[in-house]
Chains A and B, each alone.
Chain A
Amino acid sequence: MTEFEPKIVAFVCNWCTYAGADLTGTSRIKYAQNVKIIRFPCTGRIDFMLLLKAFGEGADGIIVSGCHPNDCHYTSGNFHARRRWIMFRGLLDLLGIDVRRIQYSWVSAAEGAKWADVVNTTVTAIRELGPYTDYAKVANYLEKEANV
C-alpha cells in the first residue's frame, strides 16, 4: 500500500500569504506538494462555508492564512476574520468536525520560510491523523446509499 498523501486546500489572502507563498517559490525553498492554494482578496472574504465545501469535496486538511493583525490591506479584514474563526472553530468543535484539520496562520509577504513551515507541519499533522473518512462518509452518502 502506498503511503497516505493528504489533500490540503489552502485559502489565502492575496496581499500577504499568497505573496509569501510566491516568495517561498522564488527563494527555492522546497515544501510539501499536497497543498492546493486558492487566492482570496482578503481573509475577511473567506466564507466559513468554503471550509466545509473543501471537506465535502474530499480535502483531508485545510489551511487558512492571511496578513498579520494590523497588516491587512483593507485595514480590518483580518480582524473580522479572526472573530469569525473563533466562533466557527467553536461550532465545528461542538459538532465533532475535526478542528485539528484546520490550520489558521498569519503569513506575511516576507515570510516565505514560514509558509513552507506551515504547510510542512500541517501535512505532517494530517498525515498522522489519516484521511478524513468521517466527513467523506457523510459527503458521499448519496453515492453509497442507492436510494435514501
Chain B
Amino acid sequence: MNNPNIYIPYLMRIEKITQEAPGVKTFRLKFENKQEAEEFEFKAGQFGEYSIVGVGESTFCIASSPTRKGYIECTFRQVGRVTSALASAEEGDVIGFRGPYGNTFPIDEWKGKNLVFIAGGIALPPMRCVIWNALDLRENFEDITIVYGARTVADLVYKHELEEWGNRPDIKLVTTVDPGGETPDWKGEIGFVPSVLEKVAPSAENTIAIVCGPPIMIKFTFPVLEKLGFADHNIYTTLENRMKCGFGKCGRCNVGEKYVCIDGPVFSGEELKLLPAEY
C-alpha cells in the first residue's frame, strides 16, 4: 500500500450489490483513486479489511479472481456490527478497504494437475477467487471438480455461477444440501459435504484438493480425503480467526506460532497437522 500509515484504507465505491442468499451479499468495489486502482495487485487466497468508517472493520477474503482487473469483490454474511452496517450500504456508497494481506494459494505449482474444490456454505467465496483464477487459466489444469454444499437450497451462494459452472463441460460440479434443506425441485445431492465427497470419490492421482468450510465440515472432510488417498501436502485450506489489523500486530489470530494473517490464511494439510487446535 502506498500510504505510509498502514491503517488507512483505500476508498472504494460500491459498484454493484448482488443478494446471494438470505443475509449474504456480494459487493463489487472500485477504487476511488485511479492510481491506486492501477497499482493494486493481489493473488488468490488473500484477504482484506473492509470497513465502514465510524463503525469498524471486518475481515473477509477477496472473492473475485486476480485475473479480473479493475475491481474486487467480496461476499459476506450479515452477522455482526460491521457486516450489518455493510449490508445496509447501497450501490454508489463509499466504503474502506485495506489489503491485500496474507499468503496465497500456490496456483502456479498446480499446473498440469487435477483440482478438487470442496466448500461448505459461506466458505465458497474464499474459494471462488481461486476457482475463477483456475478457470481463466483453464488450459493449465486437468480435471476440475467442485463439491459445494449448504444447509438449504436458499443458502447456496453464487447461484448464477453455479448454473454456469454446471453447464460447462470442462467442470464437474456437484452441489448438495443438508437433509431437510432441499426444495421439491432440487436436482442436486442431499447430504453433508464429506459424505457426498466420499460418493463422488475424486481420484487422488495427480490431484490437489482445496477445502474450505466451517470447522465441523473440515473435521469430517479430512478423513475422507485421507481415505481417498490424498497426501497431506496435496490438500489446502484457508483458516479464519478473529482479526483486527491483518498484518501480524494486534496479536489475536495466531494458531500456535503461526499468524493466520501473515503466515496464512492458506495452509496445506501438512502445515495444519503441525498446528495446535486453536482455530
| Direct A/B contact, Cβ within 8 angstroms | no
